[in-house]
Every structure is written in structure tokens, then in C-alpha cells.
Structure 1
Amino acid sequence: MNEKNNENKVFAKGYCFEIIFVFFLIGCLLGTYYEEILWYVKYHVITDRQGLLYGPFSPIYGIGVAIFVIFLGKNNDKRNVWKTLLYASIIGGVTEFATSWIADVVFGVEFWDYTGRFLNICGRTTIPYMIG
């Protein structure tokens, strides 16, 4: 009998394009529904927060989740929770800032503006949102 058949197979031992893409899709969906729930709680109105793609997909959340998986997914058990929170905040803030800047410079559109918000960074992101 072949010894390889007796080995325990580990799901998602390493990250490949397919696994990261699945995380991307999950992030797109959860981010869209998260925004819709917040909108309902704040305004008591059911809305369809459809974004760039057809259906309930918000690619900014998917990109964020994919970046988190790539940079924070492996060896996470070797870091403490505060370092992980710090790294995730920085990655999330840089991603949001860069996305806002690219949309503004390349496409001439402004998807969000946090100028009046507490601890905003050039109106493109805020420190409280980065931590959140």
C-alpha cells in the first residue's frame, strides 16, 4: 500500500490563486451585506448597495480580505493579537487610501470623503475606520 494514501490531507495548507479568490468573493459579499445592514440601522431603509460589479459584490472589500489573507494569514499564531491588529489596521488604511486616490486621479471620481470625520487622513480614510 502506498504511504501517500495514508497521510492526512490538510485543506488549504498553502495559499494558491483559487483559495485567495474564494476569500476575495467572500469579502465582496460580506462587505456588501455589512454596508447594507449599517445603512438599515442608521436610516431604517432597505437599500441595494450595488457597487462596481453586478450582484451583491463590493470589490473593495474583496481586495481588502485578499490582502489580509496574503499578508496576515500565514504564521498568524506566532504573532500576538495587538501586532495583528496593528498590521491589519495599517494594511486596511493604506488599501482604502490608495483606492480612493486611484479612483480620484485615474477616473476622476470620489467614492467617499471623510473630510469632516475625526482623525481623517486627507479625507480618504480615518484612523477609527482603520482600526475597525
Structure 2
Amino acid sequence: MMIGGRTEMQNKLQTIEKLFLYFLMAAIIGWCYEVFLEVVVYRWGFQNRGVLFGPYCPVYGVGMLAFLLCFGKFAKMQLSWRVRWARPILIFLGCGAVATLIELAVSYLLEWTTGSWPWQTYADYAINFQARVALSPSVRFGIGGVLFLYLLRPLFAKITGLMSEKVLHVVSITAAVIMGLDLICTVLFKLFL
């Protein structure tokens, strides 16, 4: 079926490519955030905070996609002025809960596949569960979800919207190949070293 001179398949492909670039941008911002915490806040010195070699933390990309799926329409929904004030609070609570569940699931997955998970420092937090999740990061993830849905999402949409169909395709395929190779190298490195 043609929609505005484009097939439905082309529209779906373009949506997938944009979502992948959203994922990548969120993963890079997440990596920068983690490195900032390590170097500036905790003063532990630089350490690659991602599970892959590249400057990205895929769990942030997954979280962002989950926020978009769970709360994207709600964040844009027209509400009466009487309840509009509650929306950011509900999104904050929802994003904090979703991110905590993702972080918990990923910690089990990483422990199963690699023998550990990178954020075992949660043992030092006053309120934590098995050093896998903690209240303080959950609050920060809730804030991050609000910032993403209200500030970064429109920016990401503008960036991807400025790309022609061909540029979007080339950039997303190139980034996917680089991340795929990084994943393969990381797995091989962990298996053989």
C-alpha cells in the first residue's frame, strides 16, 4: 500500500532506523553519564562503563525505548489543566520503576552470560536489592526518563528528521554494523581471554 508516495514497508523501515538511532544516542549519553559519575562525582578515575568496547551503554538505549513504548503517547497526550500537573510525576515514577526492572533483569542476564554485572557498587547504597538495584539510581533513572521524554526525544526527532531517507539508512546501517562487530569482538574477547 502506498502512503504519500512511499510504501508501508518503507515507512516501517524508516521508523525502525530512527528508533535504532534513538537507541544509539541514548546509549552514548548513558555512557557519558556513567563516565561523568566515575570521574567527576566519585573520583574513581576513568573506566569504560559499558559492557562493550565502544562508548555506549546499551542498557540506556533499551531503557529509553522502554520509556518511549510505555510513556511516549502519555507524555504527548492532551490533558485538562486540572490533571496536567500530575503527568511529569507519573512519568517520573513509571520511568523509575521500568528502569529498575530493566536494570534488575539485565544484571541477572549479564551475571549468567559473563559472570558479573558492571554496577556491583550498589552494595554500598543504603537501600538496595542484592547490590543489583538501589533506590538512588532508580530516582535518577526516573528523572532521566522525564528529561528524555520532554527534552531529548524532541531533539532526537529533530536530528533524525533532518536526515534524508538515504542518509538515515546509511547512518543506521553503519552504526548497527559497528555495534554488531563490537558485540562479536567483546564476546570473543571474554571467551578466549
Total equivalences in the alignment: 119
Alignment partner, residue 8 of structure 1:
none
Displacement after TM superposition at 1:40 (Å) = 2.0
Cα contact 1:20–1:69 (8 A) shared by 2: no
Given the alignment of the two structures, is residue 87 of structure 1 paired with residue 112 of structure 2, yes or no? no
1:108–1:53 Cα change, 3 Å: closer
1:65–1:102 Cα change, 3 Å: same
Displacement after TM superposition at 1:97 (Å) = 0.6
Alignment partner, residue 104 of structure 1:
111
Alignment partner, residue 11 of structure 1:
none
1:112–1:37 Cα change, 3 Å: closer
Displacement after TM superposition at 1:48 (Å) = 4.9
Alignment partner, residue 177 of structure 2:
none
User: Distance in 1 between the 2:134 and 2:100 partners?
Assistant: 8
Stretches of 4+ moved more than 6 A in 1?
none
SS of equivalent to 1:16: helix
Matches within 5 A, 1:1-132: 16-41=15-40, 42-43=42-43, 45=45, 47-49=46-48, 51-78=50-77, 80-113=87-120, 114-132=122-140
Provide the alpha-carbon RMSD of the alignment.
Answer: 2.3
Give the number of the structure whose residues are more often helix, by fraction.
2
| 88-97 vs 17-26, which moves further | 17-26
User: Distance in 1 between the 2:44 and 2:92 partners?
Assistant: 31
1:63–1:49 Cα change, 3 Å: same
Cα contact 1:29–1:57 (8 A) shared by 2: yes
User: Distance in 2 between the 1:89 and 1:128 partners?
Assistant: 10
Structure 2: runs of 5 or more not aligned: 6-13, 78-83, 141-193
Taking CA–CA contacts closer than 8 Å with sequence separation of 6 or more, which of the two structures ends up with the larger relative contact order?
2
User: Distance in 2 between the 1:70 and 1:26 partners?
Assistant: 17
User: Distance in 2 between the 1:38 and 1:109 partners?
Assistant: 20
TM-score (norm 2): 0.54
